[in-house]
Amino acid sequence: MLKAIILTFLISMVPVIELRGGLPFGVAQGLAPLYAALVSIVGNLLPIPFLLKLVPKIFDFLRDKKYTRKLIAWLEKKAEKNRKTIDKYGWLGLYILVAIPLPGTGAWTGALVSSCFKMKFWPSMAAIIVGVLTAGTIVLGITYGVTSLI
């Protein structure tokens, strides 16, 4: 059981996969749905404050390096795709970006967007936390609905 908890936690920390993969994995490993959700949410949120604080500094450092210039440009372009939503809705837009459990959205993308647009730390953190809780609720509902049919 400890192995399932640790793996669920770690999977939920991985960009792109996040809790959308961690929560169903935890349930598939035998964790109770609410427990899997809790572990996934905590795992998904753990790296976010570090990302919000460090991404701008890391990007500034790597932007001028020959081998990482293209990667940073690609990541900034990915963030730029969300500019209309953020410009139109502000913090609500950041919440929506994180809350919708689809590929290309989530806490990591929200942290990247927040950092690239130089949004304030605490409002960004709050929007991301509420977004992750919403995404977790949606994924839990889908996961619980699918597992109850089996």
- Rounded mean pLDDT, 139-145: 89
- Rounded mean pLDDT, 14-42: 96
- Residue spans of the domains in the chain: they are 2-149
DSSP code, position 55? H
CA separation for the pair 33, 2 (Å, rounded): 15
Average pLDDT of every residue of the chain: 93
Q: Give residue 1's pLDDT.
A: 92
Distances from the Cα of 80 to the Cαs of 74, 75, 86, 103, 116, in angstroms?
10, 9, 10, 16, 8
> What long-range pairs does 85-94 form, CB within 8 A, spacing at least 24?
86/113, 86/117, 86/119, 91/119, 91/123, 91/124, 91/126, 91/127, 92/127, 94/119, 94/124, 94/127, 94/128, 94/131
Q: Determine if the pTM surpasses 0.85.
A: yes
